[in-house]
Structure 1
Amino acid sequence: MAKYYDVHPDNPQPRTIGQIADSIRADALVAYPTDSCYALGCRLGSRDGIDRIRAIRKLDDRHHFTLVCQDFAQLGQFVRVDKDVFRAIKASTPGSYTFILPATKEVPRMLQHPKKKTVGVRIPDHVVTQALLAELGEPLLSSTLLLPGEEEPMTQGWEIKDELDHVLDGVVDSGDCGTEPTTVIDFSGGEAEIVRHGAGDTSRFE
């Protein structure tokens, strides 16, 4: 049964954020809000979390998981970014973008694309998510909370708890959340390739 965390959208309660972070460190799988839409998140090295996300979303092993990072310093530990790509990403973050880049050795092999050795990364523009990342001190392993057969993610914490109470350990609710996933840009080949049009403006990458 999922624990329900009611978090203030502008001034997240430190005690509650600490409880959520502690649960994630203990291998919990949580649904949490972002600047685009709700996502599923777990500890970076959690094999159980990965398997549960794949089961909930019915994903295959070619699916790119995302490392949700607090800032550029953290992002740079997990992906290789050359100078030109750095400028393009810097101009778009924090924001509703996921960037696919070559993974460093800090990224567990089970999270990398099996052939390309890449991983998705993003820096969200969301007060609650940023508070949680600061408390954790490491990225969240994440995937959009989009259920099989659905066209849009759920937007309400209570709705997610009702639907997924039996498969989640926690639901973070800070009010209404969007329905549009991030825009996904693949920079692994050096040039910007738009993989998915989403909440982030793509004009600068076209």
Structure 2
Amino acid sequence: MELSSILIVDDMEASLARLERLLREAAPAPQAQVHAAADLAGARGLLQARPFDLALVDMQLPDGTGIDLIHWMRAHAPAVQAVVVSAFAEEEAIFSALRAGAVGYLLKDRDDVELVVALRSLQRGGAPIDPMIARRILALLPQDAVPTPAPPVQLSARELDILNLVAQGYGNREIADLLGLSRLTIESHTRNIYRKLAVGSRTAAVFEARSLGLLP
């Protein structure tokens, strides 16, 4: 992912300043543009006015929640990747954000260097998840090999191949090269995977597929 145009949505001035500084470290290109909004209304206005590569979204905003904005983005700005950066680590909020379409969930109380590494991973097609949150997700996955009924969701062999590569951290361009397909074909398959799993992001697709037994 290119990090040339980024939107930070947070109503705390200290958080805005810190995230902008960390983004400058993660995406040091001089042409990178960082914009800020303090509420949902301001964020929607900016998203409608110009294209963005990434939105860093706080969970609690004066006129709603980050999940409200991510739902809106899924319908009105689907090309923009959303990553939650929040002080809230409740499971319900985390899974709601991922299911809404967030590609990552980071915690504000992490050290600067940890957040910079996580943000840089986006440029390689990664899905940054705070380690503590990742452990919670893994703890919810099946831990035994007890046979389960066939899942109601059926993915094609090609879709499963792509989803397995997504789970390994490959981006669409890398998957296209590995499978000998065009990037547009991979994106088409990815959209079908999202539709079948009723999710809006790579992270949520992998989580949902594992919970259904479609991925190891």
TM-score of the aligned structures, taking structure 2 as reference length:
0.25
More helix by share: 2
| TM-score, normalising length: structure 1 | 0.26
